Amino acid sequence: MCVAGSPALAEVSKAELESISIPDRVETPIGVLEFFDGVPVGDTVDKVYDNLDRMRGLAVFLDNQGAASLHAMRMGNASIGADASNKITITEQLLQPESLYLTGNTSTLYALGYMNLKKDGALVIELPPGMLGFVDDAWFRFVENLGAIGPDKGKGGKYLMLPPDYTGTVPEGYFIIRTGTFHNLLFLRGSIAKGLEPAVQNIKSNLKVYPLAQADNPPATEFINISAKSYNTVAPNDFSYFEGLNQVVQEEPIDAIGPEARGLLASIGIVKGQPFTPDARMRKLLGEAATLGNATARAITYQPRIDGVFIYPDSESAWTMAYAEKNTTFEKNGAMGLDARVLFYFNATGVTQAMAATTVGQGSDYALAYLDADKKPLDGSKTYKLRLPPNVPVNNFWAVTLYDTQTRSLLQTGQKFPTVGSQSDGFQKNADGSYDLYFGPKPPEGKEQNWLQTVPGKSWFTILRMYGPLEPWINKTWRPGEIELVN
């Protein structure tokens, strides 16, 4: 205890004291902050708490894009009747622009199911042959591959999906899927190489989903055709984002995410077992956080700055990857790639290594272009050209599809499908074996079969899909041209 008449002063330098102190008046990005000898005064406390809550809301928005996206998909499909595990959505006439799905394709047959293990308990999935599929959990994290890339090796078979709290006997004769969440996405694609109708019938005749408890007398599996059906599956970018996320937290086991993530959610009022009832102030701040998050996610997506996104970093190419460094876990050197995770989930759905193929001739791979050759946003009122060199290296097929930069869904134009590619009727090849693709509001004369329509006043982006990519694609000795403005 100091009892002398004068105060004791720490014998440290002025610079050190300044480094651990704060001036009485500080100008910051959130305004002037005022203190009395280090103690906040006036409206400073309100300013910093508003900033803190807004920043935490922004972090929640960015860090939980996967959960919000899958929840939006589940709710969107429930709105058209797919509200049970045995109600499967299917694109019988392929996916069309009326349905808002993050970067869905128009070249393969989709069948999607939303498994509710909380309601149904352990679920049996009788998988048809010839499928390419996987299961993702409620946070859109990879769980298991199915079909050609799964344990059935494309022959089909019976899978058993076990809920997180399952304590029963595990019967023999099933491929076992263990998941840490109650709601899970069953994502299946079927090849249409032998025709769309046979592929549809293969799924509708052979795919069955039912509770294990009803295996002796299973309820029928229902199919809902979503082709040309107008509805939305994309997560919102306003306050309602947090309401949807709260629903996910309430429905899932508390340990579906770690304590740090739960703490961040709790800091804005999302706590399992408790109502989410933000007051007017907090609703305003979370609305602002969503606006900032929306803007940030678009910057990360359309103008990425992280390493491993550009496919051809040795050049000025605009082509990017869906998964930074083809990493579908988003983790590197023991750390989560926060921006890499946003990059994917804001723009795409379905997490499996098979969608970042590095094995010759298997799976699929993707190249995305958001900007033209001059690194400018693509303008729907202008005409552009893309050249693909001869011998496009795929053992299945390739396709180029256009998307809306607002919804990140298929671009809605006068064309039924905003896609051209090796499966397109009448697609013209150049004399040297290369292909020229045109994008614009009107087709260049004589190029109608190689043209995709764009919309004046809107931007767009494109995805080049390579199904069964071969060595020249994987080692980058073959590369697409850039999207060039046609004067």
CATH 2.60.40.10 fits 82-228, yes or no: no
Answer for the pair 232, 69: CB distance below 8 angstroms, yes or no.
no
The pair of structure tokens assigned to 184 is 């899970």
145: its two tokens: 């591959």
Domains 42-80+233-303 and 304-485 share a fold: no
Euclidean distance between CA atoms 75 and 84, whole angstroms: 11
Whether residue 412 contacts residue 100, with contact meaning beta carbons closer than 8 Å, is answered with no
Secondary structure letter of residue 375 according to DSSP: S
pLDDT in tens, the chain (487 residues): 555 555 555 588 999 999 999 999 999 999 999 999 999 999 999 999 999 999 999 999 999 999 999 999 999 999 999 999 999 999 999 999 999 999 999 999 999 999 999 999 999 999 999 999 999 999 999 999 999 999 999 999 999 999 999 999 999 999 999 999 999 999 999 989 899 999 999 999 999 999 999 999 999 999 999 999 999 999 999 999 999 999 999 999 999 999 999 999 999 999 999 999 999 999 999 999 999 999 999 999 999 999 999 999 999 999 999 999 999 999 999 999 999 999 999 999 999 998 886 789 988 899 999 999 999 999 999 999 999 999 999 999 999 999 999 999 999 999 999 999 999 989 999 999 999 999 999 999 999 999 999 999 999 999 999 999 999 999 999 999 999 999 8
Amino acid identity of residue 193, one-letter, is A
Taking the C-alpha atoms of residue 5 and residue 237, their distance in angstroms, rounded to an integer, is 61
Q: How far is residue 464's CA from residue 321's CA, in Å, rounded to a whole number?
A: 10
Q: Enumerate long-range contacts of 267-273, CB under 8 Å, 24 or more apart.
A: 267/53, 267/56, 268/53, 268/56, 268/57, 268/60, 268/242, 270/60, 270/242, 270/245, 270/246
Buried b (16+ CB within 10 A) or exposed e, 294-325: bebbbebbbebeeebbbbeeeeebbbbbbbbe
CA distance 165 to 159: 18
Where do the DSSP E strands lie in 272-380? 331-332, 335-336, 364-369
**Secondary structure of 379-448 in HEC code, one letter for each residue:** ECCCCEEEEECCCCCEEEEEEEEEECCCCCCECCCCCCCCEEECCCCCCCCCCCCCEEEEEECCCCCCCH
pTM reported for the whole predicted model:
0.95
Taken in order 260, 286, 293, 137, is the CA torsion positive or negative? positive
What pLDDT sits at residue 8?
A: 57
E strand or H helix that includes residue 87: strand 87-90
At 9 the pLDDT is: 57
Residue 408 near residue 345 (C-beta atoms within 8 A): no
Residue type at 72 in one-letter notation? A
Instruction: Determine the Cα angle at 256 with ends 186 and 355, to 5°.
Output: 40
CB contact at 8 A, 276 and 267:
no
Task: Please give the helix or strand (H or E) that residue 76 lies within, else none.
Answer: helix 65-78
Q: What single DSSP character describes residue 43?
A: T
- CATH of the structural domain 304-485, one choice from 3.40.390.10, 2.60.120.600, 1.20.120.1200, 3.30.70.3040: 2.60.120.600
- Residue 374 CA to residue 368 CA, distance in Å, equals 15
- Whether the CB-CB separation of 102 and 408 falls below 8 Å is answered with yes
CATH 1.10.287.3610 for domain 42-80+233-303, yes or no, is no
Per DSSP, the three-state class of 192 is: coil
Task: Name the residue ranges covered by the structural domains of the chain.
Answer: 42-80+233-303, 82-228, 304-485
CB 312 within 8 A of CB 373: no
Q: How far apart are CA 206 and CA 329, in angstroms?
A: 32
